[in-house]
Structure 1
Amino acid sequence: EINILTNEQTNESKSNLDAIQPVVSAGDILMMQEQSKQIKVDESLLSYIAQLVQATRNDPSLMLGASPRASIAILNASKARAILHGRDLVVPDDIKTVALPVLGHRMILTPEREMEGAKPQDIITSIIDTIKVPR
């Protein structure tokens, strides 16, 4: 930690940023954002996303569940995953895969559950296992 602080103080950490090469251009990002608008999401999957997020608000292990913004984040991440897998539509596995990283930091465990050693990931996994996946 002292090395990190020393580097920060001498600006050595800043010079390392100059060595970073971009992997995509701003134009590429704009193109991908436009492409994501073309990805189809069945109404049943929109409902599935909403159910997952709503379940975090009703879980007794959570003091604070995810907000509607989490639903939007799951939708957008699911579309991005579909693109990365060469599909023009979202499938349930896209949603299940992105739900954990999207929801993990958006929830607060009750103090009791935290003291018991529970993790937000445990709650999310339980919710995913509980909510019926659309076919």
Structure 2
Amino acid sequence: MNQDRAREALLAVRAQVGQAVVGQESVVTSLIIALLAKGHVLLEGVPGVAKTLLVRSIAAAIDLDTKRVQFTPDLMPGDITGSLVFDAGRSQFAFRPGPVFTNLLLADEINRTPPKTQSALLEAMEERQVTVDGEPHALPDPFLVCATQNPVEYEGTYPLPEAQLDRFLMKVVVDLPPRDQEVTVLMRHAEGFDPRDLSAIQPVATAEDLAAGSVAVRTVHVAPEIAAYIVDIARATRTSPSLSLGVSPRGATALLLTSRCWAWLQGRDFVTPDDVKTMSYSTLAHRLSLRPESELEGVGVSAILASAINSVAVPR
């Protein structure tokens, strides 16, 4: 019963977020899956499609603490993790936590900061802790990094290396809204909507619901045939002549986890091949690297991934 209540509460988050963000239900679901899986998300979209508002709205609907860091070329690692500050009263240095000590960290335009600062997030994302002056400091639970990047403006940016991209559980593309939804957005603003005021969003889920859901997800049954199906998809990307880098075992494990989360949100206790297909693009596409000649030919990663999936026999 706790699991059922947790599922209902988390699904209700989408309706609450809808009071601030028009559409984007699939993006909200992806972020809920990331929270259940205790993974991290890379949000990609042009400026002005409400990426920041989405993250803030989800945090409000689940009653989570959230902080935002605007990544810039002069941002230092200590600006994220925190640093030692001299305490005159006690005549000693004390640790002052940085913005990474939160439940949901919005790393805005992560590709605008140099690799040294980008790597400051690696330990936090992987180990759920930061180390300052040799002392580890545990991060809160839950903890999710939601990083955004602009796909159209590359001047003055530092593309994320493959090793860091692989740390993100999913990459979610926030598309421009259809015409009718964009009209709805404008009418809301005409009626006085303020994106800085999220008082209309009520907490409908809690960190306890996320914890119960995370436990439930681990009990979702995965048949050996489904596990083999995921492995075969990963291996098909590794042999693609258009790719220089295919899906690693970590990527296959990530697809298994996101497929379980999706199945649980659908009210099932087992994973189907359709669950795997549904989650494959957001979980795997950012882990693939095109060969230079494929880029020149205009071949897209999504098309190559689709070809790899279609080349694998679906289990019955």
Q: Is TM > 0.5 for Structure 1 vs Structure 2? A: yes
**Aligned equivalent of 2:278, options 97, 100, 106:** 97
- 1:37 CA displacement: 1.1
Cα distance in structure 2, aligned partners of 1:23 and 1:57: 42
Higher relative contact order (CA 8 A, sep 6+): 1
Counterpart of 1:70 (choices 219, 234, 251) is 251
Match of 1:49 among 230, 238, 243: 230
* Distance apart, 1:27 and its partner CA: 1.0
Deviations 1:109-130 (A, max 9, x none): 0011111111110011001111
Give the match for residue 85 of structure 1.
Answer: 266
Are 1:125 and 2:306 an aligned pair?
yes
Greater Rg, structure 1 or structure 2? 2
Alpha-carbon RMSD across the aligned residues, in angstroms, is: 1.9
Letter in 1 for 2:240: D
How many Å separate the matches in 2 of 1:17 and 1:129? 44
% identical equivalent positions: 39
* TM-score, length-scaled by structure 1: 0.83
Looking at structure 2, the residues matched to 26 and 59 of structure 1 have their Cα atoms a distance apart, in angstroms, of 41
Q: Please give the per-residue CA displacement for 1:63-101, whole angstroms capped at 9, x wherever unaligned.
A: 111111111111011111111111110000000111111
**TM-score scaled by structure 2?**
0.37
C-alpha spacing 1:28/1:63, structure 2 compared with 1 (3 Å):
same
| Aligned pairs, number | 122
Per the TM alignment, residue 19 of structure 1 is displaced from its structure 2 partner at its CA by: 3.5
Distance in 2 of aligned mates of 1:34 and 1:71: 20
Question: What residue number does 1:30 align with?
Answer: 211
Instruction: Name the counterpart of 1:116.
Output: 297
Shift of 1:17: 7.1
Kindly provide the CA deviation profile for residues 31-54 of structure 1, in whole angstroms up to 9, marking residues without a partner as x.
Answer: 111001110010011001011011
Alignment-derived partner of residue 42 in structure 2: none
Gaps of 5+ in 2: 1-46, 48-69, 71-194
Structure 2 Cα separation of the partners of residues 46 and 108 of structure 1? 24
Residue 24 (structure 1) shift: 3.1
Measured at CA, do residues 101 and 23 of structure 1 come closer, stay the same or move farther in structure 2, by a change above 3 Å?
A: farther
- Structure 1 gaps of 5+ residues are 2-7, 9-15
* Structure 1 residue runs of 4 or more that deviate by more than 6 Å after TM superposition: none
User: Cα distance, 1:23 vs. partner?
Assistant: 5.3
Aligned CA distance change for structure 1 residues 63 and 29 (closer, same or farther; 3 Å): same
Looking at structure 1, the residues matched to 261 and 294 of structure 2 have their Cα atoms a distance apart, in angstroms, of 33
- Tell me, in whole angstroms, the C-alpha distance in 2 between the residues paired with 1:47 and 1:96: 14
Partner residue, 2:8: none
Q: Counterparts of 2:204 and 2:239 in 1: how far apart (Å)?
A: 41
Residue type of the alignment partner of 2:250:
R
